[in-house]
Structure 1
Amino acid sequence: MSKNKGKSRPAYHQTYEVIRDRILNGDIPGGTKIVEEKLAAELGYSRTPIRESLRQLGYEGLIVNKKVVQPTEKDLRDLFQVRILLEGFSARSAATYLPEEDLISLSECINIGREGTTDEIMSANERFHEIIVHSTGNSMMIDTINRMQSIIYLFRKTVVLYSRPRLIDEHEEIYEAIKSRDGQEAESLMKNHLQSDLDFCLHILSYNQNEKKGSK
């Protein structure tokens, strides 16, 4: 029986999510060559939805030159440079425009960040930044950040799994600045927050690279 029989969503959406999740969870490691025929056989789908899925994953930056991406230090710096610019502006915007119900949602994200499971903290972290970016009402800005979400996830996993110091404290400081309608402070705090994320990820990246060299 075909695996997509009886499914309500198109095969493309199903295969996209399966392949994306395998990459993000590390089941398909960085550097792995992607072969359409092999994936089609493993997942039980035709090559057409597989091809469409890979095209989308390429657009999102998870697959480059038919291989699972292995982000370099330059990739990391480039990504965060864009995030610092866009999310800094978003935090300033949120201080002006964010409605009360979204302020409550930000507070809930902070509480989950302190008390939740790892998966819950990951989701709350993503939601916290998403609420702030969406406060701009700027569809181009939102689309730019959305396009980077899969790569952002890889680095978000690093800061959560390796327990970056003050991660949630910084979220709370950003929230308080937004709640106080202090746009300048909110922007500054967001930029510093993302710079700290970058510095931490670079440290972990360097450490892991040195560990690999030492094990050879």
Structure 2
Amino acid sequence: MNQQSTNSRSAYQQAYEVIRDRILNGDLPGGTKIVEEKLAAELGISRTPIRESLRQLNNEGLIINKKVVQPTEKDLRNLFQVRILLEGFSAKSAAMYLPEDDLKTLSNCIKIGREGTTEEIMKANELFHEIIVRASGNTLMIDTIDRMKSIIYLFRKTVVLYKRPHLIDEHEEIYEAIKLRNGEKAKKLMETHLQADLDFCLHIINSERND
């Protein structure tokens, strides 16, 4: 790879990470119009890497028509419907195939979920689900969840910041079912867990609209 293409890649990565992080931390709220010229000037790079990063963020569902996504209730339900299907199957697979090292990591995620800082809990929550999804061994399913990762983060943040009741207790129940190699129970618990996440997010969104 020559120096020019390396610099171009570096500029794209910089632009992508800056825009993504601003969306995820709320600096660019839903509905905000993304102006390529303004970002290019601010970051001191050309519009090409900005355009490439917006294309990637569009693929991830964070930007639609150059505006920060403002998920509707239907969008949220659709997202969780996919997660429930894929992660339920993954939990069943994890009960069959997950190695001991990964079981220990799941257990540690639960410990952090009970004792960690908000940022640590967010990371542990993400890792818990990621380990289980990868246990499916299905690259298409894993890629599908990976593409949804950023938009999932927005709703995971709602669940953690607003302290959804029983969140970590449910993780522990899923972990115990996987540890006991009870695939059907793990699948059902994961589906119930994600449905509870959905219901909680909808409750928060509707409460904020009514304030």
Same fold? TM cut 0.5: yes
Residue 185 of structure 1: SS of its match in structure 2? helix
Structure 1: which 4+ aligned runs deviate by more than 4 Å? 6-9
Partner in structure 2 of residue 112 of structure 1: 112
Residues 34-83 of structure 1 show CA distances to partners (whole Å, capped at 9, x for unaligned) of 11001111111111111110000000000001100001100000000000
Question: Which residue in 2 is equivalent to 1:187?
Answer: 187
Structure 2 counterparts to residues 37-116 of structure 1, below 5 A: 37-116=37-116
1:166 aligns with 2:173: no
What CA distance in whole angstroms lies between the structure 1 residues aligned with 2:126 and 2:148?
Answer: 12
Residue type matched to 1:13 in 2?
A: Q
Residue 45 of structure 1 aligns to a residue in which SS? Answer: coil
Measure, in 2, the Cα distance between the counterparts of 1:87 and 1:60.
18
- The code of the aligned residue for 1:188 comes to K
Return the letter of the residue paired with 2:63: I
Contact preservation (8 Å) 2:8, 2:49: no
CA–CA distance in structure 2, aligned partners of residues 41 and 17 of structure 1 = 16
Gaps of 5+ in 1: 1-5, 212-216
State the Cα distance separating 1:153 from its structure 2 match: 0.3
| SS at 2:61 equivalent | coil
User: If the length of structure 1 is used for normalisation, what is the TM-score?
Assistant: 0.93
The number of equivalent residue pairs is 206
SS at match of 2:164: coil
Report how far residue 9 of structure 1 moved. Answer: 6.4
| Matched letter for residue 105 of structure 2 | S
Q: For the residues of structure 2 that align with 1:25 and 1:70, how far apart are their CA atoms?
A: 14
- Residues 186, 197 of structure 1: alpha-carbon distance in 2 compared, 3 angstrom cutoff: same
The 2-side partners of 1:8 and 1:119 are apart by 31
- The 1:7/1:105 distance shift into structure 2, 3 A limit, reads farther
Unaligned runs of 5+ in 2: 1-5
For normalisation by structure 2, the TM-score amounts to 0.95
- Residue identity (%): 78
> Could you list the per-position Cα deviations for residues 95-132 of structure 1 after superposition, in whole angstroms to 9, with x for gaps in the alignment?
00000000000001000000000000000000000000
- Superposed, 1:134-149 pairs within 5 Å as 134-149=134-149
What is the CA–CA distance in structure 2 between the aligned matches of 1:21 and 1:58, rounded to whole Å?
14
Take 1:188 and 1:139, find their aligned partners in 2: how far apart are those partners? 22
**Secondary structure, counterpart of 1:30 in structure 2:** coil
In 1, Cα distance between equivalents of 2:122 and 2:7: 28
Report the alpha carbon displacement of residue 163 of structure 1 after superposing the two structures with TM.
Answer: 0.2
Q: Distance in 1 between matches of 2:45 and 2:142?
A: 32
**Using the alignment, how far apart are the partners of 1:138 and 1:121 within structure 2?**
27
